Chain A
Amino acid sequence: MAVINLNVNGKKHAVDVDPQTPVLWVLRDHLHLTGTKYGCGIAQCGACTILLNGTAIRSCQFPVSAAADKPITTIEGLSEKGDHPLQKAWLEHDVPQCGYCQAGQIMNAVALLKRNPHPTDEEIEASMNGNLCRCGTYLRIRDAIKTAAKQG
């Protein structure tokens, strides 16, 4: 166990956990930020995607010790009122079905648009291909990203 200082959504937290604990479980179990989802635990589905230093990471495979003091953004911290351009586009296209994968999809799309504000279809495919959606909402995910890119 070790005390680790975290900076999540602009707030400072000190957690006393096994330093190997994946960020995912610290967020969910210790900070009660459950917007970030568990889907596979082996970096294969993207449900747990968050931003670390503005870059998308798979929080299920990222030890909390490596995230100490670095800015973390989760879906809860993406915007105050759910009005980030991607969140708005997601609502406009009514993307979710079950909704479970969507936080990970949105966070990954945030990172994509940060890197590349106007991605082509192929670039969207390449960046979003690691995020599984069992409900098959891919068409709307693609459309929502394009809508947000247009506004951005």
Chain B
Amino acid sequence: MEKIKTNYSRRSFLKSTLLAGGGLMISFNLLSEFRLSGKTNDINLPDQWNELTGYVKITPDNVVKIICPNPEFGQNVMTSLPMIVAEELDVDWQKVVVEMGPFDNVKYGPQFVGGSNSTRMYWKPLREAGAAARNMLMQAAAQTWNVTVEEITTKGGMLYHQKTGKSAQYGDFASKAAGIPIPKGVKLKKVKDFDVVRHSQKNVEGLNIVTGKPLFGLDYTQNGMLIAMIQHPPAFGMKLKSYDAFQTLKMPGIKDVFSLTLYPEGFEQGGFDTRTFNEFVVVVGNSTWEVMNARKKLEVQWEPVTETKETLSFFGRKREVVIPAGLESSASQYAKMKERAKEPATLLRKDGDPETAFKNAAQIIERTYTAPFLAHNCMEPMNFFAHVTNEKALLVGPLQAPGWIAPTLSKILKMPVEKIEIQMTRMGGGFGLRAYGHYLTEAALISKKAKAPVKLIYTREDDMTYGIYRPTYTMTYRAALDANKNLTAFHVKGGGIPEHCVHENRFPAGAVDNYLAESWEILSNMTVGAFRAPGSNFNAAAEQSFMDELAEAMGKDPIDFRLELLKRAKENPVGKFHDYDADRYAGILKLVKEKSGWNDPVNKKYSRGVSAYFCHNSYVAHVVDMVKKNNQPHVEKVTSAVDCGIVVNPDAAVNMVQGAVVDGIGNAMYGELTVKDGVPEQNNFNRYRIIRLSEAPKKIDVHFVENDIDPTGLGEPPFAPVFGAVANALYKNTGKRFYDQPFAKQL
């Protein structure tokens, strides 16, 4: 056992309560290393969230319940987070009951799902929570048996005193433990002694899923609940002018039709208050089908928007954003980006003297990459249940960030946060989109106006045409080579509509003497939001494709070339800072090289592409093996190497990486949301191409670097590097470089 100092402070407390009928309920308020600032962060959270409550309940008949603080959208947190508590609590995992906790940032910490942060943020607090509970139970036993606590051992939910041969179940001492004072320090297990964590445990909701239990927001129901749908403008750049509900109201089952405004004039939007359309028409009725049909009878007039200004306040930083008028089209957006890319841009980072180095170069390689808007297309469309009365509000549904929407809701409903109860259901996907809770606020306002419990449902079309897309991007890379084909300067200039995604401190920053990173942005009335590995997904795609072409121009093996650069970044880094650990980066490249049989002649039959990337605190490399299937390039096999520190639930982690690879191939090859005169040209799966089973690889071998580093996330890091590996394999397969996503369109 290693002794660690726990970070209890004045702000933290541990509450133990006697359960009705005896038994222990421990709610921990731990102040731990919960900070999300620091050099490797993609997201900064406010300081007041630096608290966490682990939640353990033990009944006298020895039922151990562990509450999962973070909502589940397929990333396995409902299994893997409680596993961490169970490990330190030392209970039999098979007997643990897991329950999803309600929204309560005081008790459960940030409860934010995104940025691949759940495991990383909760790792230490949950270990401390489990260890402290175990310690209290040991103290209770020691007091009763009249022995010292040091002589008590535990195993699988049992307490033992070897000398006297005494033993008891946790449940036997649960009530007594409830009266034990807060332990001042807890001992944490040695990593090598783990027997729950690092061992594959099945999804705790597996049986519920395969038997069709009501787990998702869309499945939620209540007596007297009505169904609501929204008619939003048909195009970005349009707004509601007037509507006629006469025909709709005549339809069977329809209760009400009205228009609503989401945010009042001058509303200061938080970072996740993004919404595309502020005014919309609502149809409320008895059942989904009736509302769907009646909505079709609405006669709505839309009109073009004028330029507006919005005030955004992102964790205290206030800024004004201009939302331009106009109906945009994809073709003109690409043309605009092409023009803008030629103009001067904002300097993000400069090392050495890149201008001179380019002037003196023997050879300059310049390539431009583009990517379209992407729709998240969660399998479960946006929806939320709301029951708002004058006294309180109950909201139930799929949501990634309850703590961010609660203050917004409180302002909009003019109701204190304490009166707002939010319950998070299992989510049918999230991918970033469900961090933006506009649909929850809409549901709340609809319920308030309709004076009834209401479930707001977006149809697939509503969902896909709403906006909050992954931005469309352009990235231009330039590399200067001297006469000996040494890399002397590197330049990245990237932009997007309406955001750029240049990460100026990422690889190869720190590895090239003369380095320049610049960015630009073009305003738009199309909204964007976080999309699995935000920013990184395209930054990785473009950069890792360029690296491949650069290595080829320099006559080097693409893995060895990257390793050389990483060696430089490690031994003699350029500039003050780069955001990656060169050793860990090199580690995944070496691992993927070995495991893929990179130099093995048997693999000559494949068109192979490699890519490696660091984002969201983890390192992932892929080798994509392509063949021709029905005369088309097809990914047959992928080898992945991952360094995310300790792997909490190995098989679930493999599943996550495999899913990210499939998702990456799909989006690289097919993903695209285009607009014409402001209207999305894809509004359902007949036009928006999602990867299918026959297009998925036969095999995805996942290898983890084994180390004892505290775990980092896995939802996003394996996704970003897929695109580049696919592009590089396509080059080998077709003889042609692919610069513009989606690649299938360029075949």
Contacts and interface: CB of A to CB of B under 8 A. Distances in A.
Interface in A102-135: 102-103, 106, 121, 124-126, 128-135
Interface stretch (B204-212, B316-324, B550-558): B204-212
Contacts of A126: 694
Nearest to A84: B210
A45 B315 CA distance: 39
Interface string A1-41: 10000000000000001100110010011101111111111
Given A1-B252, A75-B211, A82-B210, A136 B381 contact: no
B145 to A, nearest CB: 41
Interface string B663-707: 100100000000000000000111000111110111110000000
B75 interface: yes
B379 A37 contact: yes
A137 interface: yes
Contacts of A99: 74, 205, 209, 215, 426, 428
Contacts of A121: 698
Nearest to A131: B693
Contact of A94 (B202, B427, B684): B202
Nearest to A34: B219
B44 to A, nearest CB: 27
Interface string B443-461: 0000000000000000110
Contacts of B658: 136-137, 139-140
B566 interface: no
Contacts of A136: 658-663, 666, 691, 696
B289 A100 contact: no
Nearest to B220: A34
A124 B74 contact: no
A140 B287 contact: no
A141 B693 contact: yes
Given A28-B288, A135-B429, A97 B211 contact: no
A76 B287 contact: no
Of the candidates B221, B293, B652, B696, the one having the most CB atoms from chain A within 10 angstroms of its own CB is B696
A90 B691 contact: no
A39 B460 contact: yes
Given A28-B288, A40-B685, A138-B693, A101 B379 contact: yes
B214 interface: yes
A32 B222 CA distance: 11
Contacts, number: 188
A66 interface: no
A42 B575 CA distance: 55
B430 to A, nearest CB: 8
B112 interface: no
Nearest to B227: A29
A42 B377 CA distance: 15
Interface in A64-108: 74-76, 78-79, 82, 87, 90-91, 94, 96-103, 106
A18 B426 contact: no
B210 A39 contact: no
B662 A44 contact: no
A91 B207 contact: yes
B651 interface: yes
Nearest to B376: A134
A120 to B, nearest CB: 13
Given A37-B380, A74-B212, A132-B379, A32 B221 contact: yes
A25 B212 contact: no
B624 to A, nearest CB: 15
Given A129-B694, A134-B379, A135-B659, A98 B289 contact: no
Contacts of A30: 287
B73 interface: yes
Contacts of A135: 74, 379, 429, 659, 663
A57 interface: no
Contact of B428 (A17, A28, A37): A37
B655 interface: yes
B693 A125 contact: yes
Interface string B57-100: 00000000000000011111000000000000000000000000
Nearest to B73: A98
Contact of B211 (A17, A21, A38, A87): A87
A17 B293 CA distance: 13
A87 B211 CA distance: 8
B547 to A, nearest CB: 25
B652 A94 contact: yes
A140 B652 CA distance: 12
A101 B691 CA distance: 14
Of the candidates A22, A42, A99, A102, the one having the most CB atoms from chain B within 10 angstroms of its own CB is A99
Given A42-B684, A129-B692, A139-B699, A35 B252 contact: no
Nearest to B700: A139
B685 A44 contact: yes
B655 A97 contact: yes
A134 B218 CA distance: 17
Nearest to B219: A34
B530 to A, nearest CB: 16
Given A22-B289, A25-B288, A136-B659, A96 B696 contact: no
Which 4 A-B pairs have CB atoms at the shortest separation, nearest pair first?
A: A35-B212, A136-B662, A100-B428, A98-B74
16 contacts: A22-B289, A34-B216, A35-B213, A37-B380, A39-B380, A41-B684, A42-B686, A44-B686, A87-B211, A94-B655, A96-B205, A96-B210, A99-B215, A100-B378, A102-B210, A135-B379
Interface of A: 1, 17-18, 21-22, 25, 28-30, 32-42, 44-45, 47, 74-76, 78-79, 82, 87, 90-91, 94, 96-103, 106, 121, 124-126, 128-142
Given A106-B210, A136-B696, 13 more contacts: A28-B219, A39-B379, A42-B684, A75-B211, A75-B212, A98-B380, A99-B74, A100-B216, A100-B379, A131-B693, A134-B378, A136-B666, A137-B659
